[in-house]
Structure 1
Amino acid sequence: MANAHSHDSHDASHGSVKTYAIGFILSVILTLIPFGLVMYPTLPKSITLMIVLAFAVIQVLVHLVYFLHLDRSEAQRENVIAFVFAGLVIVLLVGLSLWIMFSIHTYMMAK
């Protein structure tokens, strides 16, 4: 019986067809708008770039919530913490690597 209980709680964390459809529709909209802005440029390039980046961040959040089911629930707390930690490590590795490369470039060009 304990196995059946864990199976039921596991199924509860999965989304329904409705949530997958909402996620899919949002993903399509969040893809088509930046695509249209790039294909038919009506705004300055800097504003278009900012809009594309904003929509990319929003789309990542939509995928995390609707497809990976990461939310604020008690069951997902460990997964969210692991995801945030992995993101922090990636940001630190990339950011510090870029800082080191720019510092080396600056010191090499100064001589």
Structure 2
Amino acid sequence: MDQQHAYRRQLRTYAIGFVSALVLTCAAFATVRFHLAPPQTAIGIVFALGLVQIVVHFRFFLHIDLERSARDDLQLILFSTLITLLMVGGTLVILANLHHRMM
């Protein structure tokens, strides 16, 4: 009975995560599709919804929370994200510089 209870709890967690991710995605698409906000505000709304969706994925699908054992995983993910952002940002700076020099 304990395994069945754990299975149902895990299934419920995945269902909550799926519905949350689906609602956030639909909200972002609806904001852009139906022009619910001015363009600059819509970009901010979509960005904020994306950040919330990252948190939803971390919590419900990757099972990363603020417990002591999960903090190591979270630090690894945050460090990987930092390195990726630095690489992408550096590439964009170089490309912008090249574009500026060619004009």
- 1:35-58 residue CA offsets vs partner (Å, 9 max, x unmatched): 222222232122122111111111
Distance 1:40 1:107 in 2: 39
Q: Which of the pair has the greater relative contact order for Cα pairs under 8 Å at 6+ separation?
A: 1
Matched, 1:105 2:99: yes
Partner of 1:34: 28
Gaps of 5+ in 1: 1-11
Query: Quick check: 2:64–2:70 contact (8 Å CA) kept in 1?
Result: yes
Aligned length, in residue pairs: 96
Matched, 1:81 2:75: yes
Gaps of 5+ in 2: 1-5
TM-score when normalising by structure 2: 0.78
**Once the 2 structures are TM-superposed, how far is the Cα of residue 64 of structure 1 from its aligned partner?**
0.9
Identity across matched positions, percent: 34
Q: Which runs of 4+ in 1 moved over 6 A?
A: none
Distance 2:33 2:95 in 1: 34
Bigger Rg, which one: 1
TM-score when normalising by structure 1: 0.73
Taking only aligned residues, the RMSD between alpha carbons, in angstroms, comes to 2.0
